[in-house]
Amino acid sequence: MSYLPRDAGMHRACRAAILAGLTLLSIPACADGAKLGDLVIEHAWIGLPPAGAAVAGGYVTIRNAGAAPDRLVAVASPIAGAAALHRMAMSNGVMTMEALPDGIEIPAGATVELAPGSLHIMFTRLKRPLLLGETVSGELVFEKAGTVAVGFAVLPMGAASATEGGQ
């Protein structure tokens, strides 16, 4: 395994997606990040939800190489009846969830990581069970840059990040 790059988990998932012959749209986000103006979108993934679950958490890393801030305002995917932006926090053993109706700011020159334990995409009303290793298509909508297609790699349950892939 030593010849694999550090983000081997992501590449594995992407290869699986490509082999499965999924949409071309999902490939750019997998390979070296989707670009939309000054934004680079990388490591889009979903933690495999239990079969029968109605919801799933989605994560992505967004880099803003530009000189002006932008804002992630909406997400959509054909696998979910709705998708919203939420922030989770843990304090004194209590988990709290906060809806972010104004979206998530991507400051100029900054990288914002949606990751377990904090900012995430909340997919609700799932229309079908997700499969480990598949890539789920989706769209991210930014206030200024517009809409970009991304492929969310479905990683093992309990995965802590796109690169770890699991525990």
Judged by beta carbon, residue 58 or residue 151, the one nearer other proteins is 58
Site for other proteins in 120-139 (CB under 8 A): 120, 122-124
* Number of H-type helices and E-type strands within the chain: 2, 11
Contacting residue, 78, 109, 146, 158, with other proteins by CB under 8 A: 158
Question: Beta 146-155 vs 39-47: how paired, if at all?
Answer: parallel
Q: How far apart are alpha carbons 35 and 127 in whole angstroms?
A: 28
Q: How far apart are alpha carbons 141 and 130 in whole angstroms?
A: 23
Judged by beta carbon, residue 33 or residue 47, the one nearer other proteins is 47
Site for other proteins in 66-125 (CB under 8 A): 82, 84, 86, 88, 90, 93-99, 101, 116-117, 120, 122-124
What does the per-residue mask of binding to other proteins show for 2-41, with x meaning CB under 8 A?
----------------------------------------
Helix (H, G, I), strand (E, B) or coil at 96: strand
Helix (H, G, I), strand (E, B) or coil at 12: helix
At a CB cut-off of 8 Å and minimum separation 6, what does 70 contact?
A: 38, 39, 64, 105, 106, 142, 143, 144, 145
Judged by beta carbon, residue 40 or residue 160, the one nearer other proteins is 160
Q: How far is the CB of 162 from other proteins (least distance, A)?
A: 15
Judged by beta carbon, residue 39 or residue 119, the one nearer other proteins is 119
Binding status of residue 52 toward other proteins by CB under 8 A: yes
Q: How far is the CB of 13 from other proteins (least distance, A)?
A: 18
HSE, CB side, 13 Å, CA atoms: give it for residue 77: 29
HSE, CB side, 13 Å, CA atoms: give it for residue 148: 26
The residues of the shown chain that bind other proteins, judged by CB under 8 A, are 47, 49-57, 82, 84, 86, 88, 90, 93-99, 101, 116-117, 120, 122-124, 157-158, 167
